[in-house]
Amino acid sequence: MSNTVELDKKYVLPTYARADVEFVSGDNARLVDANGKKYIDFTSGIGVVSVGHANKRVNDAIYKQISNITHISNLYYTAPQARAAQKIVEASGYDMKCFFGNSGAEANEGAIKIARKFGEKDGEVKRYKIITLQHSFHGRTITTVKATGQAAMHNYFGPYPDGFVYADSIADVERLLDNHTCAVMIELVQGEGGVQPQDKQAVHDLAKLLKSKNILLIVDEVQTGVYRTGEFLASNYYEIEPDVVTLAKGLGGGVPIGVVMTSLKDVFSAGDHGSTFGGNYLSSTAACEVLDILKELYESGSVAKIVEYFDSELEKFYNAHKEIFTLKVGIGMMCGLRTKDADTLAKVISNAREEGVMVLKAGRNTLRFLPALTITKEEIDEGFKSLNRAIASL
């Protein structure tokens, strides 16, 4: 056992089924482990390292910032936070304001608080119910785990906060609305649930229905946001105007940051919500640089080109292995292959690691790909070569 594994096993709580690999460095979509073995990374750290590992522009921006000041608290104005908010709102095209936290779960907690405060004040009766979907994933705090519509995640830790109701699908939401409903929260492409995109017409119908009933639409874009689908937000891709949007994973290029943004600009007053670390100089400087890089790549057409290339290579790979994969799913750089069974999927993932390419699992039987948006054609080609070897050695 290496020293790291020994220390981890002795001192870190065993909440993760870790793979037996320790990475020591990275360069865009390339990784090197402690034995010097090289890998192509099709995961970008679960959609986090959106502009690649060791991105020089992000690192330079961070070094420059932290050599001046890293943190002061939200009791004072912070220039990079204000600029990050402007960049996020402008890229979204929505008329919104932002609140900064540190993670996806914290962003969703903020969204839930916005919905509850809105429901408290707006209407005849106090509205507090939030409808979410089966197979959703919204986080690991007590409240967001309850917002997550997967019964297996509610085995312990109760009692939970009241007021979460699970719909089987978007079409099933209407049946569950009552005069206590304040919001509906959805992922437009369910990430952990199996890279499952929602039907566009169903989403439009839902948005229209909720607007007519003055019920908020919260879109959890923690995984789909920051150009993951090829557009800045999946909400842009679906051409809807949500009331509340949450972001986190890809926003800081690896630095922890989460955002809840809303068109309800007056819903919170001073003291209603807060965060010690949220949007400090470090994280919001990283976010500003990530947003600048990705905006440039988006506007030059590079994002669309690499999304198209990855998709065509994935299609080839899928067509070559139909005995193992049953369906290609996802949008943009958030894609997957349904695998015939969970055992085969586990073997594909461990063989892939042996052959030098990192891929993810989603849901019960989906092979998931979340590559950096800066991945090159060469890196994609190498990755699929290794994946083909992984299948050959099944």
Which residues contribute to the site for ligand PLP (CB under 6 A)?
103-105, 108, 137-139, 187, 191-192, 220, 222-223, 248-249
How far apart are CB 115 and ligand PLP at their closest, in Å? 15
How far apart are CB 175 and ligand PLP at their closest, in Å? 24
How far apart are CB 352 and ligand PLP at their closest, in Å? 21
Q: How far is CA 257 from the centre of its chain?
A: 12
Query: By beta-carbon distance, which residue lies closest to ligand PLP?
Result: 104
Residue 352 vs 370, nearer CB to ligand PLP: 370
Q: What are phi and psi of 300, to 5 degrees?
A: -80, -5
Residue 222 vs 259, nearer CB to ligand PLP: 222
Torsion of CA 263, 269, 273, 275, to 10 degrees: 90
Residues 6+ apart with CB under 8 A from 216: 114, 115, 118, 182, 183, 184, 210, 243, 244, 264
Residue 259 vs 387, nearer CB to ligand PLP: 259
Structural tokens at position 156: 């312990």
Cβ distance 249 to 46 under 8 Å?
yes
Residue 220 vs 355, nearer CB to ligand PLP: 220
Residue 105 vs 131, nearer CB to ligand PLP: 105
Indicate the SS3 state at residue 381. Answer: helix
Q: Three-class SS string for 315-336?
A: HHHHHHCCCCEEEEEEECCEEE
Residue 55 vs 103, nearer CB to ligand PLP: 103
How far apart are CB 152 and ligand PLP at their closest, in Å? 16
How far apart are CB 77 and ligand PLP at their closest, in Å? 26
Could you identify the residue written with the tokens 């065993």? 14
CA angle 378, 379, 384 (to 5 degrees): 100
How far apart are CB 161 and ligand PLP at their closest, in Å? 17
Structural tokens at position 324: 């193992």
Residue 96 vs 105, nearer CB to ligand PLP: 105
- Taking alpha carbons only, the member of 76, 85, 110, 135 closest to residue 284 is 85
Q: Please tell me the distance from the alpha carbon of residue 265 to that of residue 74, in angstroms, as a whole number.
A: 18
| For the chain, counts of helices (H) and of strands (E) | 13, 17
How far apart are CB 296 and ligand PLP at their closest, in Å? 25
How far apart are CB 82 and ligand PLP at their closest, in Å? 23
Q: Please tell me the distance from the alpha carbon of residue 220 to that of residue 115, in angstroms, as a whole number.
A: 13
Residue 53 vs 135, nearer CB to ligand PLP: 135
Residue 139 vs 278, nearer CB to ligand PLP: 139
How far apart are CB 48 and ligand PLP at their closest, in Å? 9
- Taking alpha carbons only, the member of 68, 185, 166, 179 closest to residue 123 is 179
E-strand spans in the chain? 23-27, 30-33, 38-41, 97-101, 129-133, 164-167, 181-186, 189-190, 196-197, 216-220, 244-247, 258-262, 325-331, 334-339, 357-358, 360-362, 366-369
